[in-house]
Amino acid sequence: MSQQIQAVRGMNDLLPEQTGLWRHVERVLRAVFEGHGYREVRLPLVEKTELFRRSIGEVTDIVEKEMYSFEDLNKESLSLRPEGTAGCVRAGIEHGFLHNQTPRLWYLGAMFRHERPQKGRYRQFHQAGVETYGMTGPDIDAELIAMSAALWRSLGVTGLQLQINSLGTVAARHAYREKLVEYFKQYETQLDEDSRRRLLTNPLRILDSKNPDLKSLIEGAPRLLEHLDEESRTHFDRLKNLLAACGVEFVVNERLVRGLDYYTKTVFEWVTDQLGAQGTVCAGGRYDGLVEQLGGKATPAVGFALGMERLLALLEVQGSQSLEDTPHVYLILVGESAERAGLSLAATLRGQIPGLRLLMNCGGGSFKAQFKRADKSGAEIALVLGDEELEKGAVGVKFLRADRPQQQQPVEQVAALLREAVSNGS
């Protein structure tokens, strides 16, 4: 035991009990994305470290202390991706699919951040994200947000609240940021340690402080929405109208600030109070400056990412059922000749009945032992092939969970019974 190798901290194994629900969610995500005309991209897990420094921001926690970075053999610094947007923009510039085009893209995959693990926060975690480019107006912002709402509907998730805000254009945001720093600097001695640090890293974040002592100070601070430029204000107002028009409920949260440097104008989060401290299930916004910042031609962009682990946790607390993956049938084989005949019988049945999940006994065992395994497998039906059946050219059929008599039938009629079982079940 002392020599046992454990998984890396914060990196979890997903076992068969969980993968059913994961596949269900993945299927729904794909269907909704594709239903909105979004197309899938699969991007590398590793990028040059420089990409993340330039996109996420030098002084963010992610870049400063949470990246898994290492030196490649050619001495270049590489990093496991901490988020998906940067790589997507990089790929867009590299393959020229942003220039004068309006792609809508989605992806699903693992991200890596070296944080202290906690409920809903892991070092390897999975995000499903969408990114769209080349569209300036609030209509695409609204479509994207409405699409996320459609996801929750399709998945049957409830209790998520949509919060939206506008950070303004890059220029407006910087101007406001300076005003805010100026304001808080006057009261620096009253700030707590965290907020004094935020003064340098992300002053907008101070507005979101959980410290009750700062409440009155924060309330006296300059208001972000009052410092919006005209263009951003109009954009935000039109977005709110569009959301209302398609029946997506939202609340404006003036303190909503995303941690990544590249956001502009629209930002939004879907939050829940059912997951403890990590209540943000999905978040995103507009990032009109990033493509240019990374060397492409100026291109507006909007996107969001949702945390798979958090979404799955929410589904679990709300009692979502895992996708059915128990076998319909367990094939019992006793004796050498039955074992020989079993493989092709199993193949025949699987070929004749689409969707059939047939589990064939392997590893021998008495009738009793095999029936035990059949029961444990969860199968509805046990098929029995022994010397007796082989002689008659039949297969025994026993219903493990229904009150129906056991019978012996030729293969063709067994197939009909199984077809019935498949269509009754899932």
Window of 27-35, 207-215, 294-302, 340-348 that interacts with RNA by CB under 7 A: 207-215
DSSP state of 400: S
| Helical segments of 57-133, H only | 61-65, 85-95
- Give the contact letters, 140-169, x = binds to RNA (CB under 7 A), - = no: ------------------------------
Window of 122-130, 289-297, 349-357, 413-421 that interacts with RNA by CB under 7 A: 122-130
Site for RNA in 308-327 (CB under 7 A): 309-310
Q: With contact defined as beta carbons under 8 Å apart, do 256 and 280 qualify?
A: no
Shortest Å, Cβ 251 to RNA = 16
Q: What's the angle, vertex CA 280, arms to CA 237 and CA 233, rounded to 5?
A: 15
**From residue 399, how far is each of 56, 326, 375 by CA, in Å?**
59, 15, 10
Member of 18, 136, 211, 352 binding RNA (CB under 7 A)? 211
- Residues 351 and 374: their CA atoms lie apart, in Å, by 21
**Closest to 42 in 3D by CA, of 99, 82, 91:** 91
Q: With contact defined as beta carbons under 8 Å apart, do 329 and 300 qualify?
A: no
Window of 5-13, 174-182, 226-234, 288-296 that interacts with RNA by CB under 7 A: 5-13
Member of 281, 315, 349, 414 binding RNA (CB under 7 A)? 281
Helix (H, G, I), strand (E, B) or coil at 259: coil
Shortest Å, Cβ 259 to RNA = 2
Shortest Å, Cβ 354 to RNA = 25
- Binding of residue 277 to RNA (CB under 7 A): yes
Site for RNA in 363-392 (CB under 7 A): 365-369, 371-376, 382, 384, 386-389
Shortest Å, Cβ 1 to RNA = 4
Amino acid at 109: G
Helix (H, G, I), strand (E, B) or coil at 304: strand
Cβ contacts of 412 within 8 Å, gap of 6 or more: none
- Residues 334 and 19: their CA atoms lie apart, in Å, by 32
- Binding of residue 9 to RNA (CB under 7 A): yes
Q: What is the contact surface with RNA in residues (CB under 7 A)?
A: 1-2, 6-10, 60-62, 66, 83, 113, 115-122, 125, 127, 194, 198, 202, 205, 209-211, 258-260, 269, 276-283, 305-307, 309-310, 334, 365-369, 371-376, 382, 384, 386-389, 396, 398, 400-401, 406
